[in-house]
Copies of this chain bind each other. A is one copy, B any other.
Amino acid sequence: MLNVSIIGIGQTGVKEYWDTSIRHLAWYAIEAALDDAHISSVDALYVGNMLAGELSNQKHLGALVADFAGQRGIEAVTVEAADASGGAAMRQAVLAVQSGLVKTALAVGVEKMTDETGTPVTAALSTGLDADYELEQGLTMAGMGALIMRRYMYEYGLDVADFAGFSVNAHANGADNPLAMFRNRLKAERFAAAPQIATPVSLFDAAPGGDGAASVIVTSRERAMDMVPQPVRVVGSAIATDTLGLHDRKNILWLTAAEQSAKKAMEQAGVMPDDIDLFELHDSFTVMAALSLEAAGFAEPGEGWKLARDEEIGRDGRIPISTFGGLKARGNPAGATGVYQIVEVCRQLRGEAEACQIADAKVGMAQNLGSSGATAVTHVLMRDS
């Protein structure tokens, strides 16, 4: 059984920060989490980041961010799993505290995507695919989303418009989140008429890149109880992987890693899908939201899209998702996204989600995917009172 609780959370808004370096972004989120936990230092730091080497010529973020955030000298490394880097950093923080060797660990996800100094963003993001078999053929992240969406439409006889509900919901929630990148509401008609990025993926199917940082502090449950009034327990934590290339999968419409990591995390937590009050999933593309709902057991294969159609994913629905806007409207700062998801579940469980609050949230799940779900990181969090 896990003996880990969250005592502090922090985040910056997701947007384009033209005058802020990556170290500043990380620092802002770390400082906010330290303030939230009423502490001034931690023992270890796990940085979730995917693109700083390519886009900012900066690797070695562990040492850099630790120092810049006033934590010079502590254990600090970067954890990378493409756009699941943030979730993976959270997982390392959990393992570190669970080991008993680290008292207090901080996971910070940080990404700065709108200030290219080297490689273009699209090329940098594509390194999350299989370089020798996919990138070599010119595949991009959006192209990958298109392959999967096209197949889903073909298998289940759907139109582009059938995915609208995911984006409409994300934007409705994002409109209520002052930290979201896009705060405009979106109508289904506008969704259907959106410009194509990689057919059939349109502008409103794909989550936008952005700059931002989010941060979570964990310690043992006993210490957490003494330290803060509302600790949130980490009751499930798991990573699973799948083939990196889509061509190696028997069925590109089944997210095996997402299924396995969700199953493991829920087993560890002793909960079933019905017990989960909200699910922060990885809606990098609308079809990925549908597949994530299916893989985690909230819908039968081929029926995830119906939860959006039937408005079951809204705040009052059967399984609320993207409650602060999700990747689509809050924004998707690649390697930071997984930590944003944890922060958002915590805010819901603590009853601090303000206009985005869902009623009486007790158990929340966050799932962060790398590229086409080749990596899936799932955490189940629970109110501890």
Contacts and interface: CB of A to CB of B under 8 A. Distances in A.
Interface of A: 2, 21, 23, 44, 50, 53-54, 56-64, 66-67, 72-82, 88, 91-92, 95-96, 98-102, 118-119, 123-124, 126-132, 135, 237-244, 248, 256-257, 260, 370-371, 374-375
A17 to B, nearest CB: 14
A131 B56 contact: yes
A248 B119 CA distance: 29
Given A53-B127, A60-B244, A248-B67, A239 B76 contact: yes
Given A62-B80, A63-B244, A73-B257, 15 more contacts: A21-B132, A53-B54, A53-B124, A54-B54, A57-B127, A58-B132, A62-B375, A63-B257, A63-B370, A63-B375, A73-B256, A74-B241, A75-B238, A77-B239, A95-B95
* Interface of A, helix, strand, loop or mixed by DSSP: mixed
A100 B237 CA distance: 13
Contacts of A95: 92, 95-96, 99, 101-102
Contacts of A76: 81, 239, 241, 375
Given A256-B73, A375-B77, A58 B131 contact: yes
Most chain B beta-carbon contacts within 10 A, residue among A54, A62, A63, A82: A63
Nearest to A92: B92
